[in-house]
Homo-oligomer: A and B are copies of this chain.
Amino acid sequence: MVNEDLEKIAVVFEPQGRKVEVKKGMTILDAARVAGIGIRSDCGGLGLCGKCLVIVEDQLNLSSTSNVELQHIPVDKLRKGFRLACQSIIKGNVRIFVPHESRLETRKILSEGVGRHFELDPAIRKMQVNIPRPNLHDITPDFERLCSVLRDMGFTRIEMDHELMQKLPIILRRADWKITVTLWMEREVISLEEDGAERAFGVSIDVGTSKIVIHLVNLTSGETVSIKSMENPQITYGEDIISRINYAVLREDGLRRLQELVLEAINTLIDEACREAGVKKDCVYEVTVVGNTAMHHILLGYNPKQLAIAPYVPVVKQSINVKAKHLGLKVNPFANVYVLPIIAGFVGADAVADVLASGIHEADEVSLLVDIGTNSEVFVGNKEDIMSCSCAAGSAFEGMHIEHGVKAVTGAIEKIKIDPRDYEVEYKTINDAKPIGICGSAMVDAIAEMFKCGIIDHRGHFNKNISSKRLRQENGVHKFVIAWREESGAGRDITISERDIQEIILAKAAIRSGIAVLMKEKGVREEGIDRVYIAGAFGNYLNTESALFVGLIPDIPLDRVRFVGNTAIAGAKMCLLSRKMRSVADNISRTIRYAELTVHPMFHKEFIDALIIPHRDLSKYPTVMKYLKESRRLNE
């Protein structure tokens, strides 16, 4: 134990010139920790790695050079005043120079989402501490003994979970008082380990209605070391959110069953990721989670009943912190699970992450952000004010309710071109495999192309006057053949029917009307939108021109449109790697306004208008108007 009676000693660290008061008995490495100066050490201060080299001019105020130092430091360096920071005990005022090669970069800048830069500052700090042994003259109990060492390192208010406290006396003695401590938020000891490993990991999770994605991240470097995903197994109890809620609410034990399913899936993914990256699950000390409000509620075991009943009130809006052991996640049992805050019943934690990762809440320019998924969220605004809404677009874009619809898997047709002269079709499949079906982006392409060629009209009905062997009738349903049986990997013709087209039109109208309502609410017109961000896995394959032609997005110069991929997981990762990003997320959740479309006076008209390709008011789509004029179809 440090003797409190001894006078304080001033130590100056160069080149920072940082001066700190330290207590006698501390090593230079200890003092550097107090000063917040990062000195390299791979062995945790045990004198094994020889990396904590520092230069001290006046060595009289240090303990004399140890055998360990003589072993690690070449003679010429010894002559120049080099010492090992972990071996040199401070006995008086000293000036210490930390050479560049011994410095730990304390500020590490990372990038996630849409080129969003932030400082690496996770909630986790893992460090080796040496605890003085008790003796008959110092019977300080174990916990206070640990706290005293941490206090000297600047951590003053230490807590510990009851269950970990039960293990404390055993671990301390098994580790012979040299222990690796993991601190959460600089206040709670969440792990005590015997081995000197200083690697700390975290996991970010995106619980989508259809898909669960996890990223395993090294919290020391900020690197993602493994990515795993799988279909959300709840899908057997309903494709869409409402059927899941109904199952949770109406079935005895339904909520518990759905929660178990998602937890099992997440645990399986974490297991796979940890095995792939060679990481012990106990070394995963922090988890961040995003998901739409229904997935958020089910994961947390909150009854989602009210989300399906007007006025669609969630259980809680603010971010949630719950221990992994209480939630049932199989990582370090004392790891904190941070669930991002939500905005409303159908604008969830994933949407907060979208905004965080896109940065639209900090931009001067006005952005339109659309996250297309089983449910789609729309945002319009800038740093002054953002409005949001949720669009029940359904899962048509994911291939559901489309006869030959498939997800974006190998063999899915992802792009379609139709020759306006002979209506012949050119397509591209994912991984260039034989086509097995049509994914969402190609459906949008197909409708845009068929509309451009005049195969379908403004309402999505086939033009019966067109003569093409690709256009045919089956049991009274009109269909257009995209791929013939011979070329197909599905053993039959791959077609698009009028009913398929109507499904997509309904989905696009839901999103387009949401965009329209928010633009009107914000008083923003097409020319006032500086940026369009399209998020969601589907977005990456989307042809923006097609999206514009079908009227999914407003008629905005296409160079302003940007696909931003899975911003939900990007936002979750930002919160995993930076504590500041958590308060930003909380702020986004509190300040973004929400428009409930189902009761919005403008919504119905906008929805009806958007059921036309591209829109009932063609003057809103000058690009399409110009095309049609040039192809002389406007007069037809």
Pair A599/B170 contact, Cβ less than 8 Å? no
Asked whether, in the complex, the Cβ of B141 is within 8 Å of the Cβ of A311, the reply is no
Given A136-B599, A302-B165, A143 and B315 touching (CB < 8 A)? yes
Q: Flag whether A162 is at the interface (Cβ < 8 A).
A: yes
Q: Which residue of B lies closest to A599 (CB)?
A: B136
Q: Which of A89-97, A317-325, A623-631 lies at the interface with chain B?
A: A317-325
Question: Given that A168-B315, A169-B302, A300-B162 are contacting pairs, would A596 and B344 also be in contact in the complex, using a CB cutoff of 8 Å?
Answer: no
C-alpha spacing A141/B166, complex, angstroms: 37
Q: Given the complex of chains A and B, what is the CA–CA distance between A266 and B306 in angstroms?
A: 40
List A231-253 residues whose CB lies under 8 Å from chain B: none
Counted per complex, copies of this chain come to 2
For residue A40, CB closer than 8 A to chain B, the reply is no
A454 interface hit (Cβ, 8 Å): no
The reply to whether A139 and B594 form a contact with Cβ atoms under 8 Å apart is yes
Q: What total of chain A residues lie within 8 Å of the partner, measured CB to CB?
A: 43
Let me know if B311 and A136 touch, CB within 8 A: yes
* Residues of chain B lying within 8 A (CB to CB) of residue A134: 311, 313
**Residue A326 is within 8 A (CB to CB) of chain B in the complex:** yes
| Cα separation A311 to B132 with both chains bound (whole Å) | 14
A311–chain B nearest beta-carbon distance, Å: 4
Q: A44: which B residues are within 8 A, CB to CB?
A: none
Docked pose: A139 CA to B595 CA in angstroms: 11
Are B139 and A312 closer than 8 Å at their CB atoms? yes
| Chain B residues, CB < 8 A from A327 | 162
Contact among B136, B301, B313 for A166, CB-based, below 8 A: B301
Q: Which residue of B lies closest to A314 (CB)?
A: B141
A345 at the interface (CB under 8 A from B): yes
B320 touching A141 by the CB < 8 A rule?
no
Q: Looking at A142, A168, A313, A327, which has the most chain B CB atoms within 10 Å of its CB?
A: A313
With a cutoff of 8 Å between Cβ atoms, the chain B residues found around residue A599 in the complex are 136
Q: Is A135 an interface residue (CB 8 A)?
A: yes
Separation of A311 and B305 alpha carbons in the complex (Å): 58
Within 8 A of B (CB), among A257-290: none
Task: Give a binary string over A342-368; 1 marks a CB under 8 Å from any B CB, 0 the rest.
Answer: 101100000000000000000000000
Distance of A305 Cα from B134 Cα, bound (Å): 14
7 A-B pairs in the complex with CB atoms less than 8 angstroms apart: A139-B596, A141-B313, A141-B342, A143-B318, A145-B313, A162-B326, A165-B320
